[in-house]
Amino acid sequence: MRRNTRWGALAAAGAAAVLVLAGCGAGDGGKSSSGGSMTLLSEWTDGGSAASIQSTIDSWNKANPDNKMTQRSIGNEDFMTASRTAMSGDNPPDVLQFEGFSDTVDYAKAGKLVDLTGWWNANKSRFALADSPGVTRSCTYQGKVYCVPMSSNAQSVLFYNAKMLADNGIAPPKTYDDVVAAGEKLNAKGITPIALGDKDGWPGAQLWMTFVAQLCGTTMADQAVDRKGPKWTDQCFTDAAAQVDSLRQKGFFPKGVVSDDYNGMVSLFESGKAAFISTGSWFIGSWQSAPPPFQVGAEYFPPVTGAAHPDDKVAYGGDVVGIPTGGKNQAEAMKFLDYMTSLDQAKVWAKNYYFSAVKGAVAASGPANIKDLYDQTASAENTLGSLDLQLPPAVGQDVLYNSFQSLLGGKTTPQQFTAALEKSAQATQGPSQP
């Protein structure tokens, strides 16, 4: 009996103590509405971007002690859940980073983003790709601009392990046939040619888009997205899928291509077990904390021989920032946006391997091995925004990802893939009419 009382007393004391602590912290439900503090919500959790945004915020806070900015970031797909919920509530962040395209449409339609058209027209000359579809389609809705690009992502990039190629007597590939030849040589030696892990659906889909840009061209693809004539079942889209399928049949992808995720494919490449990896320029940003122990070459995926649009690239404003209309401090948030995209700040980001959308940042402070890739991106004319972002999620993230993943597993043919895509697009968006 005595034991019980002691336990009970202990539990009660402990509970009381913790309740007091909880009470202390709980009083500040929500943010203080007094002027002078702002929040930023982003996906910038990885080494390079996280350091960059913190640096930007620190220098802003020093210069603006009355209007401090704090930030929080959430990695992974969970960011979508958190950001959409936050946007739906009474206390959205003052500045939001998101991925544009269909998100911009959703938010703008609901009146959740501040119209930035005036500011954009005045400032767009300092952004790369400002008039290119990859950026304009990302942030424009019904003729008005609702966000600003922070990065100019190059998506159809082929990275290679320079040392591994050299060790195996392979010159860095300049044409598509070079890539195929290199892959066959590596295969013969038992080395995985191209690292790819499509568990999340988008790494594989991006490879398809690379060929879509080359074979169909940006204009046609954008029109298919908008349902303005071209259909996904049109020949060139199927051909693009067939290109990837031929690589699969040659055994260029790892055995786990369907079940490995993006981190798996990166691990494969960075641990020196695969010679190539095809992904986007953000991959470079992840080196800031742990660069691979070998020289990495990077160039746009060479166009397929005879491609109709060899210079079209998948490149777009990847990270965009906007100002939620529910924010309590819009004027200051606007100033922060301006500050964030200034050349000085952008240089800090570029130094951390970020493909900044601000012109001249990468040229001034970017690491040497990405400057060339960046220059090609910044000067590209026909840039295709990533199709999974442009399409409504039911098409772009459900059917596109799953069906293409099935293709990579050898269970779906290119024709079946594009047929499924078109069927879903028709069901969700309607038929395609010129």
Partner 1 sequence: MSVARRNRPRPTVGRVLTVVGLYVLMTLVAVSILFPVVWMLYSSIKTNQQILNNVFSLPTAFNLENYRNLFNGGQMPVWLANSVIVTLVSVVGIAILSALAAYGFAAFSFRGKEKLFIFCLIGLMIPPQALIVSGFKWMSLFALIGSRWALILTYLGWISFGVLVLRNFFQAVPKEIIEAARIDGANHWRIFTRIMLPLARPSIGTVVVLNFMWVWNDFIYPLVYVDSADRYTIPLGILQYQSRLGVQWGTQMAALSVAAGVPLLIYLIFQRQFIRGILAGSLKG
Partner 2 sequence: MATLTTEASAAAHGSPRVGRRRRKWPALIPFLGPALGFYLMFLIIPLAGTIFLSLTDWNGFDFGKIDFVGVTNYTALAHDPVFKSALWHTLIFVAVAVVLKTVGALAASLAINERLPLATLFRGVYVMPTVISMVVIGVVFNLALSPTLGLINPFLDAIGLGHYAGTWLGDPNKALPIIILLDVWQNFGIYMLIYISALVAIPEDLGEAARVDGASRWQEIRRVTIPMLRSTTGIVMLLAGIDSLKVFTTVYVMTRGGPDHATEVLSTWGYDQAFTQNDVGYGSAIMVVLLAIAFVFAFVWLRFFRKVGE
Cβ 69 to partner 1 shortest distance, Å: 12
Binding of partner 2 at residue 191 (CB under 8 A)? no
Region near partner 2 per CB under 8 A, out of 67-75, 177-185, 244-252, 390-398: 390-398
Cross-strand partners of 96: 41, 322
Instruction: Tell me the backbone φ, ψ of residue 275, rounded to 5 degrees.
Output: -85, -35
E strands, 93-156, where?
95-98, 140-141, 144-145, 148-149, 152-154
Distance CA 62, CA 74 (A): 25
Q: How far is Cα 59 from Cα 339, in angstroms, rounded to an integer? A: 10
Chain length of the chain: 434
Count other C-beta atoms under 10 Å from residue 182's C-beta: 22
* Residue 96 to residue 148: CA distance in whole angstroms: 11
* Residue of 216, 258, 304, 315 interacting with partner 2 (CB under 8 A): 258
Determine, following the binding rule CB under 8 A, whether residue 423 of this chain makes contact with partner 2. Answer: no
Q: Does 200 bind partner 2 (CB under 8 A)?
A: yes
Structure tokens at 290: 């742990």
Give the rounded distance of the alpha carbon of 344 from its chain centre.
Answer: 23
Contact between 99 and 320 under an 8 Å Cβ cutoff? The reply is yes
Segment interacting with partner 2, rule: CB under 8 A, options 34-42, 136-144, 155-163, 260-268? 260-268
Stretch of residues binding partner 1 (CB under 8 A), selected from 59-67, 82-90, 166-174, 341-349: 82-90
Residue 256 binds partner 2 (CB under 8 A)? yes
Q: Which residue among 70, 235, 249, 379 contacts partner 1 (CB under 8 A)?
A: 70
Residue 110 touches which member of partner 1, partner 2, none, C-beta under 5-8 Å by kind: partner 2
Among 106, 115, 178, 299, binds partner 2 (CB under 8 A): 106
- Binding mask 260-289 toward partner 1 (x if CB under 8 A, else -) reads --xx--xx--xxx---------xx-xx--x
Can you name the residues that pair with 157 across neighbouring β-strands? 279, 300
Among 9, 10, 11, 363, binds partner 1 (CB under 8 A): 11
- The footprint of partner 1 on residues 287-306 (CB under 8 A) is 289-290, 293
Phi (first) and psi of residue 281, to 5 degrees: -65, -15
Q: How far is the CB of 356 from partner 1 (least distance, A)?
A: 16
Task: Output the smallest distance, CB 40 to partner 2, in A.
Answer: 18
Q: Which is nearer to partner 2, 61 or 416 (CB)?
A: 416
Q: How far is CA 106 from the centre of its chain?
A: 18
Candidates 34-42, 49-57, 140-148, 409-417: pick the segment binding partner 2 (CB under 8 A): 409-417
**Least separation, in Å, of the C-beta of 244 and partner 2?**
16
Say which amino acid occupies 93: P
Interacting positions 52-81 with partner 2 (CB under 8 A):
77, 80-81
Q: Which does 402 bind (CB under 5 to 8 A by kind): partner 2, partner 1, none?
A: partner 2
> CA 151 to CA 349: how far, in whole Å?
10
The contacts of residue 214 (CB under 8 Å, 6+ apart) are 240, 301, 303, 304, 307, 308, 309, 310, 312
Three-class DSSP labels, 180-226: HHHHHHHHHCCCEEEECCCCCCHHHHHHHHHHHHHHCCHHHHHHHHH
For residue 203, what are its two tokens? 């790494």
CB of 302 to partner 1, least distance (A): 24
Chain residues binding partner 2 by CB under 8 A are: 77, 80-81, 84-85, 87-88, 106-107, 110, 112, 192, 197, 199-201, 254-261, 264, 267-268, 393-394, 397-398, 402-403, 405-406, 409, 411-412
Q: Binding residues for partner 1, per CB under 8 A?
A: 1, 4, 11, 14-15, 18-19, 21-22, 25-31, 39, 43-47, 50, 70-78, 81-82, 85-86, 88-91, 93, 262-263, 266-267, 270-272, 282-283, 285-286, 289-290, 293
